[in-house]
């Protein structure tokens, strides 16, 4: 496979370029655009001008084959897509959109950390000059109608039932979620572009197709694999974020017995998951309990690393769905979630990202994620429940997490 690279002139932001690529793809009838923005593959953005869907019975087909040696920062292209949580829901429920979608891109535009745009392709074909012209042209404004989400009743009874299960020794922690829904009219790509511009999420991802669209404004990395090096950065522990003067909240989060316990348990679960497919002795935790900002909240974040001894498929089958949005032990948590949550999660708490034959793979945890289909929009919200959880406080945490996205949707 021959990698083609060309430096491009132009200083458009990632959200502006994705809007331009979306309009271009629709006008030329070349499928749809896709994009990753924030912190992906050591870059600020990886955008696909056009992706071609590849229906397949096996949702894990892009992960086959042996990992390649580490590259030099280029991405080139690959499979953009998602795995929904519904793939592993023991109840078999689903929201109606496909449980997995993967679409191929043989060329991308990549924005590096220095603000330089690159055209990259997995072979000859596309014309870099067209995209250099696009970077010089005004960016379109994609709009959507202001909308509000209908909230279900607080899921405090489900939280209480989860606490009782923990007290009975069935498990240590479970992530209990609910779903806000509403009507949506307009362009999902505009919603994503504005979310990237105003919220600056670290792991944002956009996909669309005949089935609908995914607007993921996630702060969380599920998996990154370059060469044989694997990394996961679970988030657990949350407090509302009010502004630059709330450093006392950062300290409070780091000192919270409940939040620290929540994070440490999930970090241990991720360590065990990676230990199933990594070289013996290679799994370590280089970063534990770091306080990081996310839209509307502070989070506790830890990092687990290891050296893979199998394929990407082995890695995904050992770790999916992400531990931070299921619980510990994971199998009992999956069963309890199916018992206590009234409906399917869909893509929410699954994973969205890119599998590249040149750069490896990176997937987010699909939290802070809108699922849009057939004129409807849904937003999953939830949190980790431990023995110390207070149901009203857990519901308030859901509202804090959802608030920035609700404001974004209402702005139109």
Structure confidence at residue 245 (pLDDT): 60
Asked, for residue 192, whether it belongs to a domain, the answer is no
Structure confidence at residue 115 (pLDDT): 96
Structure confidence at residue 296 (pLDDT): 86
Structure confidence at residue 125 (pLDDT): 83
Task: Give the CATH number of the domain where residue 231 resides.
Answer: 3.60.120.10
Structure confidence at residue 273 (pLDDT): 98
∠ CA 334-234-395, nearest 5°, is: 65
Same domain, 101 and 161: no
Buried b (16+ CB within 10 A) or exposed e, 350-362: bbbbbbbbbbbbb
Structure confidence at residue 199 (pLDDT): 96
**Cα separation, 412 vs 410, whole angstroms:** 6
pLDDT tens figures, 176-214 = 999 999 999 999 999 999 999 999 999 999 999 999 999
Asked, for residue 150, whether it belongs to a domain, the answer is no
Same domain, 167 and 77: no
pLDDT tens figures, 104-120 = 999 999 999 999 999 99
Q: Is the pLDDT of residue 242 over 90?
A: no
pTM above 0.95, yes or no: yes
Same domain, 124 and 270: no
pLDDT tens figures, 310-326 = 999 999 999 999 999 99
User: Whose CA is closest to 36, among 63, 21, 14, 60?
Assistant: 14
Tokens of residue 408, six digits: 């974004």
Asked, for residue 214, whether it belongs to a domain, the answer is no
Q: Given its phi and psi angles, is residue 99 left (phi above 0), alpha (psi -120 to 50 degrees) or beta?
A: alpha
Structure confidence at residue 2 (pLDDT): 81
Long-range contacts, stretch 72-75, CB < 8 angstroms, 24+ apart: 73/41, 73/42, 73/43, 73/112, 73/359, 74/3, 74/5, 74/110, 74/118, 74/120, 74/358, 74/359, 75/41, 75/43, 75/46, 75/108, 75/110, 75/120, 75/354, 75/356, 75/358, 75/359
Same domain, 265 and 399: yes
Q: In terms of DSSP H, where are the helices of 210-368? A: 247-255, 257-275, 312-319, 330-340
Same domain, 101 and 173: no
Q: Given its phi and psi angles, is residue 366 left (phi above 0), alpha (psi -120 to 50 degrees) or beta?
A: beta
Asked, for residue 161, whether it belongs to a domain, the answer is yes
Three-state DSSP state, 263: helix
Asked, for residue 275, whether it belongs to a domain, the answer is yes
Same domain, 277 and 370: yes
Structure confidence at residue 35 (pLDDT): 98
Q: Is the pLDDT of residue 1 over 70?
A: no
pLDDT tens figures, 130-180 = 999 999 999 999 999 999 999 999 999 999 999 999 999 999 999 999 999
Same domain, 265 and 309: yes
**365 and 322 Cβ atoms separated by less than 8 Å:** yes
Asked, for residue 190, whether it belongs to a domain, the answer is no
Structure confidence at residue 276 (pLDDT): 97
**382 and 177 Cβ atoms separated by less than 8 Å:** yes
Structure confidence at residue 77 (pLDDT): 96
**The tokens 């044989």 sit on which residue?**
228
Element (H, E) at 101: strand 100-105
Structure confidence at residue 55 (pLDDT): 80
Please identify every residue annotated as catalytic.
220, 236
Structure confidence at residue 244 (pLDDT): 63
Same domain, 80 and 173: no
Asked, for residue 323, whether it belongs to a domain, the answer is yes
pLDDT tens figures, 337-381 = 999 999 999 999 999 999 999 999 999 999 999 999 999 999 999
Q: Given its phi and psi angles, is residue 326 left (phi above 0), alpha (psi -120 to 50 degrees) or beta?
A: alpha
User: Whose CA is closest to 62, among 88, 100, 32, 99?
Assistant: 100
pLDDT tens figures, 47-66 = 999 999 998 789 999 999 87
Residue 25, domain extent: 4-136
Average pLDDT over the chain, rounded to whole? Answer: 95
| CA distances from residue 190 to 51, 64, 102, 143, 408 in whole angstroms, order as listed | 18, 34, 22, 5, 11
pLDDT tens figures, 383-412 = 999 999 999 999 999 999 999 999 999 998
Asked, for residue 29, whether it belongs to a domain, the answer is yes
Structure confidence at residue 198 (pLDDT): 97
Same domain, 16 and 54: yes
pLDDT tens figures, 247-293 = 777 788 999 999 999 999 999 999 999 999 999 999 999 999 999 98
- When divided into structural domains, the chain yields a total of 2
Cβ neighbours of residue 210 closer than 8 Å, sequence gap 6 or more: none
Same domain, 104 and 179: no
**The tokens 């979310």 sit on which residue?**
195
Same domain, 125 and 249: no
Structure confidence at residue 123 (pLDDT): 86
Same domain, 277 and 132: no
User: Whose CA is closest to 42, among 14, 74, 70, 20?
Assistant: 74
Cβ neighbours of residue 164 closer than 8 Å, sequence gap 6 or more: none
Please give the backbone phi and psi of residue 345, each rounded to the nearest 5 degrees, phi first: -90, -25
């Amino acid at each position: 496979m021959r990698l083609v690279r060309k430096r491009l002139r132009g200083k458009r932001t990632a959200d502006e370029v994705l809007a331009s690529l979306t309009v271009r793809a629709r006008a030329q009838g070349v499928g749809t655009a896709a994009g990753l923005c924030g912190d992906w593959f050591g870059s600020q953005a990886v955008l696909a001008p056009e992706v071609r869907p590849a229906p397949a019975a096996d949702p894990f087909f892009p992960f086959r084959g042996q990992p390649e040696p580490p590259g030099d920062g280029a991405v080139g292209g690959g499979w953009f897509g998602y795995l929904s949580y519904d793939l592993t829901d023991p109840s078999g429920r689903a929201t109606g959109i496909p449980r997995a979608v993967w679409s191929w891109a043989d060329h991308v535009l990549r924005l590096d950390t220095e603000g330089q745009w690159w055209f990259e392709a997995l072979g000859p074909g596309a014309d870099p000059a067209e995209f250099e012209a696009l970077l010089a042209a005004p960016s379109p404004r994609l709009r959507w109608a202001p909308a509000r989400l209908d909230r279900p009743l607080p899921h405090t009874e489900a939280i209480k039932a989860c606490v009782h299960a923990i007290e009975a020794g069935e498990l240590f922690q479970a992530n209990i979620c609910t779903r806000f829904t509403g009507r949506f009219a307009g362009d999902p790509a505009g919603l994503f572009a504005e979310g990237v511009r105003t919220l600056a999420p670290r792991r944002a991802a956009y996909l669309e197709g005949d089935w609908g669209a995914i607007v993921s404004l996630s702060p969380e990395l599920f998996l990154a694999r370059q060469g044989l090096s694997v990394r996961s950065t679970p988030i657990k522990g949350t407090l509302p974020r009010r502004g630059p003067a709330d450093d006392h909240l950062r300290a409070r989060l780091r000192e919270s017995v409940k939040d620290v316990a929540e994070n440490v348990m999930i970090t241990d679960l991720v360590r065990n998951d990676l230990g199933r497919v990594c070289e013996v002795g290679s799994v370590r935790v280089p970063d534990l309990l770091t306080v990081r900002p996310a839209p509307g909240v502070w989070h506790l974040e830890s990092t687990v690393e290891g050296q893979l001894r199998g394929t990407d498929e082995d890695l995904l089958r050992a770790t999916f769905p992400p531990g931070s949005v299921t619980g510990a032990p994971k199998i009992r948590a999956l069963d309890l979630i199916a018992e206590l949550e009234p409906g399917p999660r869909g893509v929410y708490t699954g994973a969205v990202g890119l599998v590249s034959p040149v750069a490896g793979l990176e997937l987010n945890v699909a939290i802070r994620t809108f699922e849009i289909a057939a004129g409807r929009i849904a937003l999953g919200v939830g949190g980790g429940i431990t023995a110390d959880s207070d149901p009203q406080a857990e519901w308030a945490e859901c509202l804090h997490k959802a608030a920035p996205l609700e404001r974004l949707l209402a702005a139109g």
